[in-house]
Amino acid sequence: MIEVEKNRIQIEVMTKMEEIKNDHQKRESFLSRFLRPFESAKPQKNKLKVLICEDSEILCKIISKIMEKKGFDVTATETPAHFLTKERLADFDFIITDNNMPYMMGTQFTEYVEKELKLELPMYLYSGDPNLKNEWPLTKVRRGIFEKGSGFEAVLQKILTDFNNYKDEMNAKLEMKLAITANTLMV
């Protein structure tokens, strides 16, 4: 969802900047709308959308209920195979996935999203395998590995903290790109 919004903003800025390049007041007013950071990643009226991939129906329901009570818009699935296209993933803010699932492992799913679909969608993996950290190195979008049984409320707090940091990083990059674009068009 962040990537879609970022692309929309960049296209709108480029188009609008061309239209108003000679009117300094309109240009400054327009740019000020887009140089503000996105809203904080705390569940509010516009709920954060999260995809939960968990093959255990009971655990899936428990995680979903906890997150819904915290104000998230949750979509839960027993297999990530239903979400292998950009279009199916475009509305999500982040993914939480189990690793050991039938048909497709969580590691395979996250690698596919990152490398094949090339989505910058934060993903968090949880597993009962403590050695998984060696097989699934963290990247820009592979944000964290959590062990099952460590208390989901604590895990959720760590995920939210990391997700807020991720959004801050993305906002800073977007602001820099927009400022460079604005400076280039003003010259």
pLDDT band at 187 (very low <50, low <70, confident <90, very high): low
When pLDDT is averaged across residues 8-32 and rounded to a whole number, the result is 55
Reported in sequence order, the residue ranges of the chain that DSSP labels E, i.e. its strands, are 49-53, 73-77, 94-98, 123-127, 142-147
Task: Note the pLDDT of residue 138.
Answer: 80
In this prediction the pTM is 0.66
Domains and CATH numbers, the chain: 49-167 (3.40.50.2300)
In whole angstroms, what is the distance from residue 39 CA to residue 91 CA? 16
Task: Note the pLDDT of residue 17.
Answer: 53
| pLDDT greater than 80 at residue 6 | no
70-118 pLDDT, tens digit per residue, is 889 999 988 888 888 888 898 899 999 998 888 889 889 999 999 999 9
Would you call 153 helix, strand, or coil by DSSP?
helix
Average pLDDT, the chain: 76
Nearest Cα neighbor of 6 from 173, 122, 166, 185 is 173
